[in-house]
Every structure is written in C-alpha cells, then in structure tokens.
C-alpha cells in the first residue's frame, strides 16, 4: 500500500528521526488523524457485519497503511505508534466530550439529532470522559503506566509492541497495565461516589 | 489520597497482585511492616481486582464504536463550523467518496449542500483541475439539474463542492410511495433523460447516474445531483494517484457501464447505460443484476419496453441508443403507441449485418430501402395534397380545421418516415456503426433507380439525392457523394433558380463534398454564392449561416489562405455561440476549423521563411481533440483532428509524441472506420514517414503501398501527397538495395513534383530532387545525379535553412558523391555543411 500518503508519512518519520525536520510530528498529525479515522470506521463496519471478529491492532493497521515498513527503523515505528495511539485517544475523547456537552444542552441542531441517538452511546461517552480524566490523574504520578494504557487501550497494541515502543520488558508492561487498571478502577469509583 | 512513595507503592501492589490471594497477607505484613496506612492503600487497590478486570477489556475503538456510529458530528466538519461563506448545519450523509452536509450560505441566504471529498487528492492538482471544469459545470442551468455553485479546499486540504440543496426523495422511493403507474414512471423518467441530454449537449457526462443521484421534489420534479462531479474526480483528467483512480472506478459498480468498469474512456453512451439500469429499476423495482437474468425478470413487461431497455443496456456502447435523446424519444414513441426504434436489433443494425453476411444479396436490401423511400414519397405526396386542401379550405372556411388536422397528420407521418429513413441511413455512419464500410453497397443499390422512380417528384428526388450524398460523405466515399450532390443542385436550380434557399443548401452540400477532395476553387465559388443567398434571408437562419461560414473558412484554410479564412471563421464562431452555445459539437467544429487555419498560417510562414507558431497550432488541436473526445469520440472529425495533430507534431519533429498520438489515432480509427478508407491511408502514410525516419525501410515498403495506390487512384498526379508517397516509396526501395526498381517512382515524383505549386513545410521539391539524386548515385550514375543533388540542396537550404536535418542530409549525400567520385575539394566543402557546428576538418 505505497500510496502518496505512505510516502509522505515515511518521509516525515525519517526526517524526524534524522533531525532534519523538527516540525515533522506536527505535520504527521493530520495525516495520521485521517487515516486513523478511516481505519476506525472500517473497523466498526466490520464489527457490525461480523460480531465474532477479534479485536485487531488498530494502530498497527493504520501503520501498515501509512508507512513503508522497509524504509524505517524500529525507532521510527515507536514514534509512529506513540503518535497514533495519542491521536486515537484524542479522536475518541473529542467525540465523547462533544456528545456529553450536547447532551447537557449544546446547539439545538445537534441536540435534536442526539435525541434519536441511543442511550448506550451516552453511557459510553460518560465512561470515556471519566476514564480520560482519571488517566490524566495517573499520568501525573505514573507517566509510563499511563502511556501503557494509552498504547494498549486507545492504540489497540499488544504488550510486545508496547515493550518495543517504551523500551521496557514485556513483564513490566503487563505489571504497569495491571496496576493502572486497579488504580483507575478505584479512581473511577471514587468519582462516582 | 496520594502515597508518599509512589514507586514503592506501585511495586508493592504489582508484586502482591501476582501472588495467590492466600499469600498476599503474609507478603504485605512483611513488606509494609508498621506502615498501616500504606498497607491499607495497597489492600484497597487490590480490592479493585474484580472491577478492574472488566475495565478497558476491549480496545477503545470498539468501546467507542456506538459513539462514532450514531453521532451526528462523526463527520469531518462540525455543525456551526464556517467553511468560507457557508455555515455547516448538519451531516446529511456519507458515501464512498466523502460526506455531504447541509449548510447555510450566509452570503446569499440560501441553503446549500456541501460535498466534502475525502479521498486522497493533491490540493494543488485539484484546484487547478477544478478551475478548468468549474466553468462548464456551473454553466449547467436546467430545472432538473441541481446547480453547482462552486468549490474549494478546506484548510485540511480536502476538496469540497457547493451545490444546490435538493429536498427530495430518491426516484424509486418516490415512485413506490406514490404508487406511480408505468406511464407515470415513464413520463418521470423522460424528464430525467431531458436533463441528462441537456448536460450532454453542454459537454458534460454524468458518469455516476444512479437512483440515489436522482431525487424527486415535493412538486414531483426530478432533480439530478452530482452532475460532472465524477469527472472532476476523474484520474484521467486530473493527475492523481492510483488509489483515487481505483476509488473512483469502484464507486457505483451496479450502475457503471461495462466500458466504465473496464476503465475505458466514458462517453455519453456510458450515461445511456446507467440510465438503462435506472430505467430497469424504475420499472421492475430491482436491479438487473447480471444482464442475462434480466430477460426473465421482465417477461411481464411490454415487449417494446423490453426492447427499449435492452437497447440501452447493450454491452457494446455503439449498439446502445446513440444519445439519451433517442432513448427518451423511443419512450415517447411507446407512450404514443408508435413503433419503437428498439427492435430486438434496430433495422439499420440488421441491414448492415445482413449486408455483411450476404455480399451478393445486397439487392434485397435495396428493395427494403426503396420501400422506405416509397413510403417517404407517398407521405410527402399526401402532405402536399393536404396542403393544397388547406389552401382550398382557406376559401371554404368550414373545412379549415379538418384540413389543418390533415396537414398535421401528414406532416407527422412524413417526419416519422424521414426519421426512419435517416435511422437506416445513419447505420452507414461509421461513428455509430463501426467498421461496416459495406453499407456503401446499400447506398449504391438505393441510389441506382431513384432517378427513374422519382422522375415525377423532382423535389423529393433532390432531397433523396441530398440524403444519399450526405451519407456517402459521412463515409468519406466522395465520388458518389459528389454525383448525388450535383444532381440535387441541378434539380433545385431548375425548380427554383439560383437565388433560392434550397439551391443554396445544395450548393453548400456540394461545396462541402468537393472540399474533401481538394477541389477547392469550385467549392469556394459554391460556398460564396450560398453565403450571399443566406445572408439575404430575413430573419437570418443563424445556424445555417454559421455552418456556411465555417465550411467556407475551412475551404480557404485548406487552400492555404488562412488570412482570408480568419474573418469568416470568427463570424461563424460568434453566430454558433448564439445559436448552439459554447458547449455544442457544432461550436467545437468551428474551433477545429480555426485550429486548422492556425495550422495553415504556420505553413504560410514556413513558405515565406518566417518563424511558424506550430506550438499554437498544436495547442489548438489538442484543445479541440479533448472537446471532441468528450462529445463525439469516434466521429470522423475527432479522428481528423488527431491526424492534423500528428502532422504538426511531425513537423515539429516531436516523433515520440507523434507516435503516441498516432497510436491513439489508430485505435480510434480501427474501432470506428476499419482499415479501408482515407483515414487508414493517411494513418499508414504517417506511420510510413515515422518508420522512414527510424530507418526501417522494409516496413516503409509495406506501409506505403496502400496509401500510394489509394492516392494515385483518388488524387491528381501532381498532388503533393502523391508526389511525397512516390518519393518515399522510391527512396525506400533505393535504400534496400533496389535503386533500379525505385527509379521510376522517383522519376514520376520528380516530373509531377515540378508541377506542384505548394509543398508543405519540410517536404519540398528539394526533397524529391535529392531523393532521385540519391537513387542515381546508388546506381553509380555520378554525373547525372550531381546536378539533382546540387539543386535539391539549394532548394532545401533556401526553404528550410542550413541547419535543418534534411538540408544537412542533402549535404551528406553530396559529400558521399564527391568522395566516391574522388573529388576531395568538393567533398570537404559539403562535409562542413553536413554539420555546421562541427569541426570542418572532417
């Protein structure tokens, strides 16, 4: 899949790596953003069609679409995964917050359309917003653990990939993940109370 | 509540977490010691284990699926967001290409639909491409076509179009909801056809016709959406990447014509096909799926409707309706109970097929033709009687109404038969029928006895002569075209005199025919007279005048008098703009003639040793070809324009480009005309020149024979083409070691060439002299060839200049001659000329 975008992304990653282009991450953002949304949609479509489908590594799929794997090092790849997971989080949270805001009384047009939307979506939005807030709290104390959550939950990545990105052992990744879940669970319950 | 030592805290939790529950207490007791608070914290966290296991156990994307799915703001643009003058109101829908929004036009205070394209498109290319197309699309102004207001690119680089917002429901849904009868459905469909037809006349092909793009408003008016959008996104017209190309092609496969799916160039016939699918669905309420299934599904439909449908769905574009207008017209015939054109196959199709099968049995076809002509004559006669009736009726008032009705009826019949006849004859139109040149036989047979049969109906006879002449001319079989035109003209002159409009029209026809074979002097006189007569008409027939001016301009241009042609063509263009509009085929034809005049200007310039603007001529042809390809890709004009382009490219010595165009030309030509006609000859001729330049002489010998025979048979012996082809053939023989065989050809070229007034461009009499010289040199006749080579060289030098390849080649011949002749001084002199830039010592 070596389209124009793929060349762009690969080139940006390489320039970034070699220090030629300091703005590479900023330039990378919109490209990845679009592709991620596309992958997310396709994913949802598949999910709707086939409920038995296993969760795929979302970011990995986007990566395959966007990057010419032969030209980049593992380090570039790590950068990419980091950005992609961060973006996935941003996209989802943007939606979740907009949804919640609208539910509380946004513009009439939006509100109208949302009345028809299912309550499930609203529940989902609330949960995500709370989770995101809690994750911010976790970042302040345990930045790496928070990053693990971002890569795994938002980026859909496996422990092995995460260990490559963060340069820690797989075991550490698993421990971070377990801890973060316990911690976030308690935070969420505390908020709810 | 924050632990004071977060790292230690986390370690304790993680460690304990990995232990069996039973072991945890002992571990914590030991690890925390007296720090009760710490231990409580750790235990509190471990207590979350059950709940934590359910937390984030699916990827966020899946978790948030519903959110993305059901959300109104899932699109690229948010409600309230401004896009130029437009405020986004809501997302109306999503498709393969992107999203459609409802928006408020804050400038004009209206609602618009904004289509955002999300496929990868380079911003710059898109904007450039869009600007080119926008003018055409925005000019589409039809009540049944949603207007395109404009378009631009978002700050994220995504192109978008602003279109008229249509509040309507899809065609089929509407038909179902309103429980429309078949007749009502047909009437509705004809409105759709009228809109598509209008667009075609304006050079716009929809390319993505489907029910979703056809909405019906509350008033019951159909509106076509997205006209020309597909073309804006067409990879062939815009430089984009492969991804887009695939995306565009894969857009709506159910409605795409076979040629569209194959990725071939789309024409109006592709829209006919898509409309056919829509037509089917409208009548049958479902998609045809595979074509062969359709037949069974439609059993319950009327046989005529069935035929109409299948004529629109033919796999071969040339067997479909030749236009959407014809498609619609056939539906009208059906609605009015008239016979439809779409039989299982059209009569014309069957006739030509028949001729192909039975070369000997063509006489039978002539019988059919004559029957038709007879019908025409009868109705014309009826019409005349009716007219006479009416005249009488004007005296006897009581009969007026009846007579008027009778006249109208007769006129209708005549029209219909005329139509029928034309349809039959138009099967002889290569643009429609393809290769079947044998249709000529049908025409020959038809023409044989009309003089006797119609002796008492001179007016009708003249008209039939005109019809036949036009049919022959379309086939580029000129001698009979000329004969019939002359006969028509003679009859009209006799009947109405010189100053009559009908006579003028016959003059126009004969002049046009003669221009084909370069009988330009007579053609010019005829056209000038016809023009004078037409100018006296009040009110003027703008279109006829524009056509006459165009043909006259074309004749002058062919006669290499571009300066005289220019004012006629300018006037023609202006008139055509008013009568047919800028996006009509007729207008493009004027543009083509202008391009030709520009081309001829360069010939004049070259003859006068001035700098020629060939680039301008090439650009003109390219523009015209693009327009032709859109409107009438297989028309003879399109092919002719390509021929001219090839010639120009050859003159510019852009061989690679010429070869490329020549290849396209050949494809186009073979598809439509076959191999046995003037175009094939011209094309072979062009090929032979290219191969000559490449030095592939054996191939030249193969290629040049047919054009040579054809030209010798059809053109005057001193025509430059004959001279050039004889020269080429003789020289190719010389260069394959058969100089003695080549000599007669070169001699003939030399003798006739000396009588030729004008040679185009790089081909001058000097070429002929040099070629004959070379032939004699090859036979060792040095003394004989010297004078030829010298005068040839001088001629080339004067006409083309010293540093031109041909002049340099002539110098080389002289050098070779003098070297062989052992005259070193002369040899050295020409060695220097041979390559003026190089060291003269060689």
- Closest among B255, B357, B252, B273 to B316, alpha carbons compared: B273
Mean pLDDT within B345-371: 40
- Does B600 or B74 have the greater pLDDT score? B600
Of B46, B59, B72, the CB nearest to A153: B59
Mean pLDDT within B24-46: 88
- Does B239 or B424 have the greater pLDDT score? B424
Specify the range with the lowest mean pLDDT, choosing from B666-680, B701-715, B728-742. B666-680
Of A40, A109, A179, the CB nearest to B13: A179
Specify the range with the lowest mean pLDDT, choosing from B51-65, B260-274, B658-672. B260-274
pLDDT band at B648 (very low <50, low <70, confident <90, very high): confident
The listed range with the strongest mean pLDDT (A112-121, B208-217, B593-602, B733-742) is: B733-742
**Alpha carbon distances (Å) from B235 to A28, B94, B117, B120, B155:** 26, 22, 14, 11, 23
pLDDT band at B722 (very low <50, low <70, confident <90, very high): confident
**Extents of the domains making up chain B:** 6-57, 168-314, 715-834
Mean pLDDT within B660-678: 67
Asked if B759 contacts B749 with a C-beta cutoff of 8 angstroms, the reply is no
Mean pLDDT within B188-192: 93
Cβ contacts of A89 on chain B, cutoff 8 Å? 60
Indicate which of A36, A162, A185 best probes the interface with B, i.e. most B CBs within 10 Å of its own CB.
A185
**CB pairs A-B closer than 8 Å:** 140
- Residue B465: the pLDDT is 83
- Residue B239: the pLDDT is 35
Mean pLDDT within B609-621: 80
| Strand partners of residue B103 | B88, B112
- Does B526 or B1 have the greater pLDDT score? B526
- Residue A124: the pLDDT is 73
Across chain B, mean pLDDT equals 74
The listed range with the strongest mean pLDDT (A105-109, B190-194, B792-796) is: B190-194
- Residue B602: the pLDDT is 78
Q: What is the span of the domain harbouring residue A186?
A: 4-192
Any idea which residue has 């235990």 for tokens?
Answer: B43
Of A89, A95, A154, the CB nearest to B67: A95
Residues A151 and A149: their CA atoms lie apart, in Å, by 6
CA angle B575, B581, B582 (to 5 degrees): 100
Residues B537 and B534: their CA atoms lie apart, in Å, by 5
Specify the range with the lowest mean pLDDT, choosing from B30-44, B161-175, B423-437. B423-437
Q: Residues B763-787: pLDDT tens digits?
A: 567 888 899 999 999 998 998 999 9
- Residue B627: the pLDDT is 85
Mean pLDDT within B225-249: 47
- Residue A38: the pLDDT is 66
The number of domains in chain A is 1
Question: Nearest-CA distance from B54 to chain A in Å?
Answer: 9
- Residue A154: the pLDDT is 85
pLDDT band at B462 (very low <50, low <70, confident <90, very high): confident
**Alpha carbon distances (Å) from B266 to B3, B258, B633, B671:** 72, 10, 9, 15
Alpha helices in B715-764 (DSSP H): 720-735, 739-753
Mean pLDDT within B263-271: 68
CB-based contact A153 B10, cutoff 8 Å? no
- Does A178 or B760 have the greater pLDDT score? A178
- Residue B283: the pLDDT is 81
As given in the structure block, the two tokens for residue A189 are 């319950």
- Residue A129: the pLDDT is 86
Asked if B165 contacts B111 with a C-beta cutoff of 8 angstroms, the reply is yes
- Closest among B809, B770, B820 to B790, alpha carbons compared: B770
pLDDT band at B298 (very low <50, low <70, confident <90, very high): very low
**Alpha carbon distances (Å) from B36 to B11, B41, B43, B755, B831:** 17, 9, 10, 122, 110
As given in the structure block, the two tokens for residue B724 are 């050039």
- CB atoms near residue A51 (< 10 Å): 7
Q: Residues A80-89: pLDDT tens digits?
A: 777 777 777 8
CB contact residues (below 8 A), chain B span 215-244, against chain A = 241-243
- Does B797 or B92 have the greater pLDDT score? B797
Q: Is the pLDDT of residue B751 over 60?
A: yes
- Does B598 or B714 have the greater pLDDT score? B598
- Residue B515: the pLDDT is 86
Question: Nearest-CA distance from A3 to chain B in Å?
Answer: 7
Mean pLDDT within B817-832: 87
Type and span of the H or E element at B800 = helix B782-800
Type and span of the H or E element at B162 = strand B159-164
Output b/e per residue, B683-704; b: 16+ Cβ within 10 A.
bbbbbbbbbbeeeebebbbebb
Q: For helices B697-714 and B720-735, what crossing angle results, to 10°? A: 150
Residues B448 and B468: their CA atoms lie apart, in Å, by 11
- Residue B740: the pLDDT is 92
- Does B184 or B287 have the greater pLDDT score? B184
CB-based contact B44 A186, cutoff 8 Å? yes
Mean pLDDT within B582-587: 83
- Does B558 or B362 have the greater pLDDT score? B558
- Residue B369: the pLDDT is 46
Asked if B113 contacts B103 with a C-beta cutoff of 8 angstroms, the reply is yes
CB-based contact A182 B122, cutoff 8 Å? no
Cβ contacts of B118 on chain A, cutoff 8 Å? 34
If one looks up domain B168-314 in CATH, what number appears? Answer: 1.10.510.10
- Closest among B191, B263, B193 to B234, alpha carbons compared: B263
Pick the residue from chain B with its C-alpha nearest to A59. B61
- Residue B553: the pLDDT is 95
Of A43, A117, A182, the CB nearest to B13: A182
pLDDT along chain A (193 residues), means of 10: 59 70 66 66 57 48 68 71 77 71 43 38 76 92 93 85 89 94 90 64
Q: Which CATH number fits domain B715-834: 1.25.40.10, 1.10.357.10, 1.10.132.50, 3.90.320.10?
A: 1.25.40.10
The residue length of chain B stands at 842
Any idea which residue has 């004071």 for tokens?
Answer: B4
Cβ contacts of B59 on chain A, cutoff 8 Å? 55, 58, 153-154, 156
Specify the range with the lowest mean pLDDT, choosing from A24-33, B481-490, B669-678. B669-678
- Residue B207: the pLDDT is 72
Q: Is the pLDDT of residue B221 over 50?
A: yes
Of B2, B71, B120, the CB nearest to A121: B71
């Amino acid at each position: 899949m070596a389209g124009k975008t793929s060349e762009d992304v690969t080139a940006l990653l390489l320039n970034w790596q070699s220090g030629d282009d300091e703005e590479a991450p900023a330039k990378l953002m919109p490209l990845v953003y679009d592709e991620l949304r596309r992958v997310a949609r396709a994913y949802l479509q598949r999910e709707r069609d086939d409920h038995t489908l296993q969760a795929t590594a979302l970011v990995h799929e986007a990566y395959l679409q966007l990057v010419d794997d032969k030209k980049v090092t593992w380090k570039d790849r790590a950068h990419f995964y980091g950005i992609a997971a961060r973006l996935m989080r941003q996209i989802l949270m943007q939606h979740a917050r907009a949804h919640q805001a609208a539910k509380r009384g946004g513009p009439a047009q939006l509100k109208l359309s949302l009345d028809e939307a299912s309550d499930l979506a609203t529940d989902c939005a609330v949960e995500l917003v709370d989770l995101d807030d809690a994750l911010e709290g976790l970042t302040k104390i345990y930045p790496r653990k928070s990053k693990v959550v971002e890569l795994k939950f938002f980026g859909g990545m496996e422990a092995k990939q995460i260990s490559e990105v963060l340069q820690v052992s797989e075991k550490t990744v698993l421990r971070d993940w377990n801890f973060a879940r316990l911690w976030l669970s308690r935070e969420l319950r505390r908020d709810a109370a | 509540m924050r632990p004071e030592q977060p790292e230690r805290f986390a370690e304790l939790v993680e460690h304990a977490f990995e232990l069996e529950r039973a072991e945890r207490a002992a571990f914590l007791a030991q690890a925390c010691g007296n720090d009760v608070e710490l231990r409580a914290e750790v235990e509190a966290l471990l207590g979350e284990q059950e709940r934590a296991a359910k937390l984030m156990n699916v990827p966020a994307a899946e978790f948030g699926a519903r959110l993305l799915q059901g959300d109104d703001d899932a699109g690229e643009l948010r409600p309230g967001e401004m896009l130029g003058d437009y405020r986004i109101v809501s997302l109306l829908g999503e498709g393969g290409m992107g999203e459609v929004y409802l928006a408020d036009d804050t400038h004009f205070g209206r609602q618009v639909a904004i289509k955002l394209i999300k496929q990868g498109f380079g911003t710059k290319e898109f904007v450039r491409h869009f600007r080119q197309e926008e003018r055409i699309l925005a000019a589409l102004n039809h009540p049944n076509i949603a207007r395109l207001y404009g378009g631009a690119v978002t700050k994220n680089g995504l192109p978008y179009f602003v279109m008229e917002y249509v509040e309507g429901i899809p065609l089929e849904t509407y038909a179902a909801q309103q429980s429309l009868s078949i007749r009502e459905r047909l009437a509705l469909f004809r409105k759709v056809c009228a809109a598509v037809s209008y667009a075609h006349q304006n050079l716009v092909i929809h390319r993505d016709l489907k029910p979703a793009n056809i909405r019906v408003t509350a008033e019951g008016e159909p509106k076509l959406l997205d006209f020309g959008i597909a073309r804006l996104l067409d990879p062939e017209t815009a430089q984009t990447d492969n991804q887009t190309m695939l995306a565009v092609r894969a857009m709506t496969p159910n409605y795409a014509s076979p040629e569209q799916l194959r990725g071939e160039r789309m024409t109006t016939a592709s829209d006919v096909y898509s409309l056919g699918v829509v037509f089917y669905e409208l009548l049958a309420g479902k998609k045809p799926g595979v074509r062969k299934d359709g037949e069974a599904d439609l059993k319950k439909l009327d046989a005529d409707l069935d035929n109409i449908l299948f004529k629109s769905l033919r796999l071969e574009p040339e067997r479909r309706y030749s236009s959407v207008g014809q498609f619609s017209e056939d539906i009208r015939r059906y609605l009015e109970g008239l016979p439809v054109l779409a039989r299982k196959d059209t009569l014309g199709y069957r006739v030509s097929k028949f001729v192909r099968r039975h070369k000997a049995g063509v006489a039978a076809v002539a019988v059919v033709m004559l029957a038709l002509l007879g019908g025409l004559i009868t109705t014309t006669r009826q019409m005349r009687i009716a007219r006479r009736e009416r005249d009488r009726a004007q005296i006897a008032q009581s009969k007026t109404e009846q007579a008027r009705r009778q006249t109208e009826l007769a006129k209708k019949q005549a029209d219909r038969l005329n139509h029928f006849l034309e349809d039959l004859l138009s099967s002889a139109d290569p643009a429609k029928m393809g290769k079947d040149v044998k249709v000529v036989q049908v025409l020959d047979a038809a023409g044989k006895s009309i003089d006797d049969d119609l002796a008492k109906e001179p007016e009708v006879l003249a008209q039939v002569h005109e019809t036949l002449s036009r049919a022959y001319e379309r086939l580029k079989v000129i001698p009979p075209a000329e004969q019939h035109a002359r006969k028509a003209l003679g009859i009209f002159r006799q009947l109405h005199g010189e100053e009559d409009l009908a006579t003028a029209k016959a003059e126009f026809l004969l002049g046009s025919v003669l221009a084909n074979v370069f009988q330009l002097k007579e053609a010019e006189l005829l056209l000038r007279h016809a023009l004078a007569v037409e100018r006296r008409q009040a009110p003027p027939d703008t279109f006829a005048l524009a056509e006459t001016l165009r043909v006259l301009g074309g004749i002058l241009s062919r006669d290499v008098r571009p300066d005289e042609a220019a004012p006629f063509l300018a006037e023609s263009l202006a008139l055509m703009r008013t009568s047919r509009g800028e996006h009509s085929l007729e207008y493009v034809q004027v543009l083509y003639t202008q391009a030709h005049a520009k081309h001829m200007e360069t010939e004049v310039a070259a003859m006068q040793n001035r700098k020629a603007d060939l680039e301008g001529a090439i650009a003109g042809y390219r523009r015209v070809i693009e327009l032709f390809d859109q409107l009438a890709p297989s028309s003879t004009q399109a092919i002719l324009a390509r021929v001219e382009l090839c010639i120009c490219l050859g003159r510019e010595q852009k061989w690679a480009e010429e070869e490329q165009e020549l290849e396209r030309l050949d494809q186009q030509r073979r598809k439509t005309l076959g191999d046995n006609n003037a175009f094939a000859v011209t094309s072979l001729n062009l090929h032979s020149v290219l191969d000559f330049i490449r030095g592939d002489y054996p191939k030249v010998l193969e290629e040049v024979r047919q054009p040579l025979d054809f030209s010798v048979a059809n053109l005057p012996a001193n025509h430059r083409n004959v001279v050039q082809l004889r020269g080429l053939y003789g020289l190719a023989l010389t260069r394959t070691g058969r100089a003695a065989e080549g000599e007669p050809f070169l001699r003939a070229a030399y003798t006739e060439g000396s009588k030729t007034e004008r040679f185009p461009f790089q081909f001058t009499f000097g070429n002929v002299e040099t070629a004959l010289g070379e032939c004699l040199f090859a036979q060792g006749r040095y003394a004989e060839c010297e004078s030829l080579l010298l005068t040839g060289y001088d001629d080339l030098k004067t006409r083309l200049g010293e540093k031109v390849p041909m002049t340099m080649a002539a110098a080389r011949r002289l050098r070779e001659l003098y070297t062989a002749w052992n005259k070193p001084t002369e040899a050295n002199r020409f060695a220097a000329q041979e390559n003026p830039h190089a060291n003269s010592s060689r």
